Structure 1
Amino acid sequence: MNPRLLLVDDDPTFTRIAARALERRGFEVVVANDAETALSLAHPGVDYAVVDLVIGTDSGLALVPRLKAALPQLRIVVLTGYASIATAVEAIKLGADNYLTKPAEADAIVAALQGKAPNPNQPPSTEPLSVARLEWEHIQRVLAEHEGNISATARALKMHRRTLQRKLLKRPVKE
């Protein structure tokens, strides 16, 4: 019997392509486009989950502990197009087993799900983060602390809500 995987993402194109690629790699894939559907599909027999960080208006970070509570053995990979150190750390603290940035190859997702160790010989970067990247990281950390609430995050950052929304719509600054 093939391992069962719950794929949680609000992007129908991504879920269709990812589901097909993961099925070719031996998984039985079940797709959820929101947190409530994901929780309703989280029943014994589901071995793995790939959860997007932002699922429409839902937070993937908030979903991780709920999935773990329903299925403690579930291996979860958080996948996002808006990666930051703060959200990666928070995802792991909340019970995710790994964290990947989009676009991620299907083989990388499978390796992360199966707990394959990263390359220990990869040298750490000697370049400091740019000011723009540091700002992005800080915004992501404060956003995670406020459970994705834009208004509360804007107040905490002493920033206008629309300014914060414009910053969040931009892609993360490259490291």
Structure 2
Amino acid sequence: MERAQSYLVVDDDADVLKAAATALMRPGVHVEAVASPEGLAAKAQGAAAVLLDMNFAAGARSGAEGFDALAALQDADPSLSVVLMTTYGGVALAVEALKRGAVDFVLKPWRNEALADAMAAAARLTAERRAGAPLNLDDLERRAIERALAIHEGNVSRAALALGLTRPALYRRMARHGL
């Protein structure tokens, strides 16, 4: 039996989250909705694809917050495919999104089938990238430490416990990885 693919949808509008989750729900697909880009890299761990809004502050239209979140996701997992979405967009913004590493760009309101197709294509790309990426123990260790710290909101003692390390051992590994 195949494991369900996990999509992460990030938008500050509860109605958009509900609509996207409904549009993306398919057999073999699990959709998680998140209202903020805070701690997104940890939440996206293991996701097949991310659908990310570009604006989170009231009145924002520049997409800066979305670009910042995209960069954080790419730093945490370069193989993860991200589809950016916005209500306020045009060709220039879409081109900029693709230049910065998004795999697709969707305007709200979307057509449900087009959104599902974009996310399925993004998930396939993530799988291809991960299958071809050689495993690097240092990268895996760094990501595990970053994830534990994010989950435990920077509390080193709790992160060390979750990782099965002593606090001094975690501090040494954090120093080795520049964390």
* Alignment coverage as a number of residue pairs: 115
Compute the displacement of 1:17 (Å): 2.0
TM-score, reference length from structure 2: 0.58
Compute the displacement of 1:25 (Å): 5.5
Between the aligned partners of 1:85 and 1:62, the Cα distance in structure 2 is 20
Q: Show the 5 A alignment for 1:27-46.
A: 27-43=29-45, 45-46=46-47
> Are positions 1:76 and 2:77 aligned together?
no
Between the aligned partners of 1:111 and 1:32, the Cα distance in structure 2 is 21
Compute the displacement of 1:39 (Å): 2.6
Between the aligned partners of 1:53 and 1:26, the Cα distance in structure 2 is 27
Between the aligned partners of 1:97 and 1:79, the Cα distance in structure 2 is 11
Q: Which runs of 5+ in 2 are unaligned?
A: 59-63, 123-179
1:8·1:34 contact (CA, 8 Å) conserved in 2? yes
Between the aligned partners of 1:28 and 1:107, the Cα distance in structure 2 is 17
Query: SS state of the match for residue 109, structure 2?
Result: coil
CA, structure 1 residues 25+103, in 2 after alignment: closer, same or farther (shift >3 Å)?
A: farther
Q: Show the 5 A alignment for 1:1-175.
A: 1-24=3-26, 26-43=28-45, 45-56=46-57, 59-115=65-121
Compute the displacement of 1:88 (Å): 0.8
CA, structure 1 residues 25+55, in 2 after alignment: closer, same or farther (shift >3 Å)?
A: farther
Compute the displacement of 1:112 (Å): 1.6
One-letter identity of the residue aligned with 1:16: K
Compute the displacement of 1:28 (Å): 0.8
Compute the displacement of 1:42 (Å): 1.8
CA, structure 1 residues 25+88, in 2 after alignment: closer, same or farther (shift >3 Å)?
A: farther
Structure 1 residue runs of 4 or more that deviate by more than 4 Å after TM superposition: none
1:46·1:74 contact (CA, 8 Å) conserved in 2? yes
Between the aligned partners of 2:72 and 2:106, the Cα distance in structure 1 is 20
User: Cα deviations across residues 95-153 of structure 1 (Å, max 9, x unaligned)?
Assistant: 1000011111222112222339xxxxxxxxxxxxxxxxxxxxxxxxxxxxxxxxxxxxx
Q: Which has the higher helix share?
A: 2
Higher mean Cα deviation, 9-18 or 19-28? 19-28
Q: Which runs of 5+ in 1 are unaligned?
A: 117-175
Higher mean Cα deviation, 63-72 or 49-58? 49-58
One-letter identity of the residue aligned with 1:110: A
